[in-house]
Amino acid sequence: MQDYYNYIKSLHLIFVITWFAGLFYIPRLFIYHIEASQKGSPEKEILTEQLKLMTKRLWYIITWPSAILATIFAIWLLVLMPVWLQQPWMHIKLGFVLLLVLYHLKNHQIFRQLQRDEVRYTSNFMRLWNEGATLILFAVVFLVILKNTFNWIFGVVGIIVLGVLLMLGIKLYKSIRRKNPNA
């Protein structure tokens, strides 16, 4: 089995990347769907039907299969390398993976609501929500690459600074958009 380790690791990384691609794009489609629901007829109906189809395809053809395959290959890697489960960095990584799964499941809930034309969130909330996957990605990548050499104080401060910068970027975009609605 050890001979297959790099193949399994490669497949795990490929499906993590495609999973994140779906998680980055789905909230953007939610934003468009929410904004389309505020338009008048017939634009509202045309846009929402198209966005429902796009989100359904993204969610069920790319995001869910990628999440499942990334998880299968991750478990396979842990079976091949059980010593990783004794490493403190792996415990923290698995905590972030749990957050990612919860984020994914919440996106699924929002997806199902929008498929039923139930708009429960604002587009501004979705813009903030969209950054959840980004924060988790940064945390996991730095954790996996730096492992035990990772300075936790700098890591926590870095994630907080990144979060603040993302929020400032969203506020800046919002003010630009208010001045120029076509931006």
12 is in an annotated binding site: yes
Angle (deg, nearest 10), helices 88-115 and 5-36: 40
Lookup result for tokens 């790319």:
62
Q: What region, left, alpha or beta, does residue 117 occupy, with left being phi > 0 and alpha being psi -120 to 50 degrees?
A: left
Per-state percent for the chain, helix, strand, coil, to nearest 5: 85, 0, 15
Closest to 19 measured CA to CA, from 78, 83, 87, 97: 97
| DSSP assignment letter at 60 | I
108 is in an annotated binding site: no
- The number of CA neighbours under 13 Å toward the Cβ of 14 is 9
Residue ranges of the binding site for heme: 12, 93
Residue ranges of the binding site: 12, 93
